[in-house]
């Protein structure tokens, strides 16, 4: 009797179970320059702690920088000289120190306008600096605020409420040998135009003898007889037919234990509430694929004429009763 043996080394994964990328990008020349060329994507992809720091520092730094400009303008105009006569007109009235210049810059940029500090008509340079401050900081605030809102509106968090089964199973479906996975929507809001696709990553040797460490093959998944499903409101089971056209052709219960591959699953859907698209990913390695098993029912009916989805059974599997797979179901034997 053959027993299922765990591999001594943990298999590397390109994508983790929760859909995060495990590929490390290293030794890229000019990485900082590339990130600065696409500054919008860089700012949107920032972690929240860096984004909040950038959001706050944008305001504080512009207040302080233009406050310094107004301070030097007043210094050049002789506004801070103690011996100034009574007829001297200051560029910025009631600004006598760097703190006062900072407060005037803050009041001007935030349009507070207390009326205590103001620019006189006799100082064109101060007027030009104020106009430049309002234009430049207005554009900077629009950029940072837009990036802040864009990160909030990203459907990334919505994708986290899409649940994949922890394991995939191989059994017969409609008379064909199929690899099956289960997908569920954890929210009541619908996901429409769902489409599930798969990519098989494994090493490959070409006809010319060239060996590639990672070779991608498309794995088509279906739900009933269609590649698309109208909406994801109930847990659905998608299946891939293992035939001569499948990249998993020739797979058996014994060879499954010795294969080294990763099956990447991607679900693309449209959120009904916002019409935005979201994408959720997961992956399966051979140790997470059960041969000769099927998913337990997860949908039940309640006495009050409603359907109940019990997620206690979402990841539960049971041995199939198909006699053609019993000989390969080594765990059951």
Pairwise CA distance, residues 320 & 171, whole Å = 7
Ordered DSSP codes for 258-278: H--EEEEEEEEEEETTT--EE
Domain boundaries, the chain: 31-153, 157-326
What pTM was computed for the model?
0.69
pLDDT at residue 2 is higher than 60: no
Is 172 or 160 the better-scoring residue by pLDDT? 172
* Sole residue written with tokens 């001007």: 108
Q: Which helix (H) or strand (E) holds 124?
A: helix 124-153
Q: Which residues pair with 282 in a beta bridge?
A: 265
pLDDT of residue 92: 87
Per DSSP, the chain holds a count of helices (H) and strands (E) of: 8, 16
36-62 pLDDT tens trace: 888 888 888 888 898 889 889 989 999
pLDDT at residue 199 is higher than 50: yes
Distance of CA 59 to the CA centre of its chain: 28
174-190 pLDDT tens trace: 888 999 999 988 888 78
Q: Which CATH class is domain 31-153?
A: mainly alpha
DSSP class of residue 75 equals H
259-305 pLDDT tens trace: 888 999 998 888 877 777 888 899 999 999 999 899 998 888 878 87
Pairwise CA distance, residues 84 & 147, whole Å = 48
pLDDT at residue 317 is higher than 80: yes
Pairwise CA distance, residues 253 & 293, whole Å = 11
pLDDT of residue 103: 92
β-strands 168-173, 289-291: how paired?
Answer: parallel
11-27 pLDDT tens trace: 778 888 888 888 877 77
pLDDT of residue 106: 92
Query: Which CATH code fits 157-326?
Result: 2.60.40.1400
pLDDT at residue 212 is higher than 80: no
Pairwise CA distance, residues 39 & 43, whole Å = 6
**Ramachandran assignment for 234, one of left (phi > 0), alpha (psi -120 to 50 degrees), beta (any other):** beta
φ/ψ (deg, to 5) at 312: -65, -20
């Amino acid at each position: 009797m053959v027993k299922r043996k765990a591999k001594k080394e943990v298999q590397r994964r390109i994508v983790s179970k929760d859909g995060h990328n495990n590929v490390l990008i290293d030794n890229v020349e000019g990485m900082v320059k590339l990130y600065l060329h696409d500054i919008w994507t860089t700012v949107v992809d920032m972690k929240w702690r860096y984004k909040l720091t950038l959001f706050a520092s944008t305001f504080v730094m512009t207040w302080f920088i233009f406050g310094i400009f107004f301070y030097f303008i007043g210094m050049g105009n002789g506004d801070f000289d103690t011996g100034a006569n009574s007829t001297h007109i200051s560029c910025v009235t009631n600004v006598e120190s760097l703190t006062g210049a900072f407060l005037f810059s803050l009041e001007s940029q935030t349009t507070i306008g207390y009326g205590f500090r103001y620019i006189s008509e006799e100082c064109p340079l101060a007027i030009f600096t104020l106009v430049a401050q309002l234009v430049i900081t207005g554009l900077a605030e629009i950029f940072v605020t837009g990036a802040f809102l864009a990160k909030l509106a990203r459907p990334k968090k919505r994708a986290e409420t899409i649940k994949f089964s922890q394991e995939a199973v191989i059994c017969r479906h409609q008379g064909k040998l199929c690899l099956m996975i289960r997908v569920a929507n954890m929210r009541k809001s619908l996901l429409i135009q769902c489409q599930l696709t798969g990519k098989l990553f494994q090493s490959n040797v070409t006809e010319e003898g060239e060996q590639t460490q990672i070779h991608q093959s498309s794995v088509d998944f279906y739900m009933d007889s269609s590649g698309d499903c109208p909406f994801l409101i109930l847990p659905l089971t998608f299946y891939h037919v293992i035939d001569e056209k499948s990249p998993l052709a020739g797979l058996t219960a014994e060879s499954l234990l010795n294969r080294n591959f990763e099956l990447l699953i991607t679900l693309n859907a449209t959120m009904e509430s916002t019409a935005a698209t979201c994408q959720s990913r997961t992956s399966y390695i051979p140790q997470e694929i059960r041969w000769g098993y099927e998913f337990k029912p997860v949908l039940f009916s309640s006495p009050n004429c409603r359907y109940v989805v019990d997620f206690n059974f979402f990841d539960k599997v049971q041995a199939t009763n198909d006699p053609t797979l019993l000989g390969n179901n080594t765990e059951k034997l």
